[in-house]
A = this chain, B = another copy of it.
């Protein structure tokens, strides 16, 4: 292709996050913390193909999501890119049931795809970092707290400011609806009270009238959704509502048990709250539901959500696999943290030291670099022909913390000039001393 021919557009597609190295290193560091914490809780990795049979995804998607699925054909098979990591987990459990040990605790950190109309904070390719605990036929309630304990550890380790896990239980509203004779309207009522924080009490009441609730039912719902306080206070307030319904009572007991377990796990009370207005969009949740906010940045919205479901894999298996899990939307979170300046791009190199030759004796230079690497130090060797200035400014631009300058005198002496590029301090050291100093 000649110089005058038109070159191809190189912009990434809209809605795709592509980072510069200094940002990518930071992203990978955060991803590493999440993975390490998940492993500390004994979750095992899985890594399913990003491409599934289209019918596998269609089975669970429905509505808006279904329209957003990227589909394509190759030969006879209709294929699609996964839109989350939950459906692939369901398929995985159904397929490998006999090779898995239950409760099955898996983490999955991978990319999902949705053809959304790109707008601020919405991505078409995005990382999700999921954990789920899946039982066969049954799964104990303590697992609901275990998930929060892990998430609390993750957000503490990420060191991006205070966080709060907000918890509710789907059985509360379902039970309340039964007691008030509005079970047929549970979904609509859920959607309305989900907006309580945003729209305020007056608007919610108005919307509940529009849904067709009686004054008495509206009173019940509003009293329920407005319960506030510490976990202990919320639980007694809920009991004090006088709602006589077994499902509601079960929901309260489950929340009480969850709060007790969180105490045992050492999750600080400031890091979680029971909030009855939490609903979560996905229909398959049946018990505990979570979302997590960064306390100082409520405008980020929920950075991590999940909950308990009665059966993960009903579309694929005749057996019941109850589970509980949570997902961190890392791509969106990272993009928000970067915009808000909470996370800052750092070095643009993984190297701790740049070896800078001012000699023709490249053999000695390469040997020194190889030695430092053999001692576990991340090293970059500047082998290009260039003036000294340019070599040092290379280290500077990449924010490599140290440079080792290697000239003929240094080689003969066996002592090299180690320069701290932060302080400008320079010392002559043997290769062993360099390792001791920066290793």
Contacts and interface: CB of A to CB of B under 8 A. Distances in A.
Contacts of A318: 3, 7
A379 B146 CA distance: 11
Contacts of A374: 266
Contact of A28 (B45, B51, B101, B316): B45
B383 A146 contact: yes
A10 B72 contact: no
Contact of A70 (B74, B149, B398): B74
A265 B50 CA distance: 39
Contacts of A145: 366
Contacts of A103: 384
Given A16-B49, A42-B351, A55 B8 contact: yes
A142 B13 contact: no
A101 B394 contact: yes
Interface string A344-368: 0000111100100000001111110
A295 interface: no
A261 interface: yes
Interface stretch (A88-96, A181-189, A218-226): A88-96
B264 A10 contact: no
Interface stretch (A105-113, A238-246, A335-343): A105-113
Interface string A370-414: 100110111111011100000000100110100000000000000
A202 interface: no
Contact of A316 (B7, B45, B317, B366): B7
Given A95-B12, A378-B42, A18 B383 contact: no
A351 B365 CA distance: 43
Given A45-B21, A261-B362, A373-B40, A140 B1 contact: no
22 contacts: A8-B55, A9-B56, A12-B52, A13-B53, A17-B49, A18-B49, A21-B100, A21-B106, A40-B373, A40-B379, A42-B351, A42-B378, A42-B380, A44-B348, A70-B72, A74-B115, A101-B398, A135-B384, A145-B366, A149-B370, A265-B367, A265-B369
Interface of A: 1, 3, 7-13, 16-21, 24-25, 27-28, 39-53, 55-56, 59, 70-72, 74, 77, 79, 91-92, 94-96, 99-101, 103, 105-106, 111, 113, 115, 124-125, 135, 138-140, 142-143, 145-146, 149, 153, 260-261, 263-266, 314-318, 348-351, 354, 362-367, 369-370, 373-374, 376-381, 383-385, 394, 397-398, 400
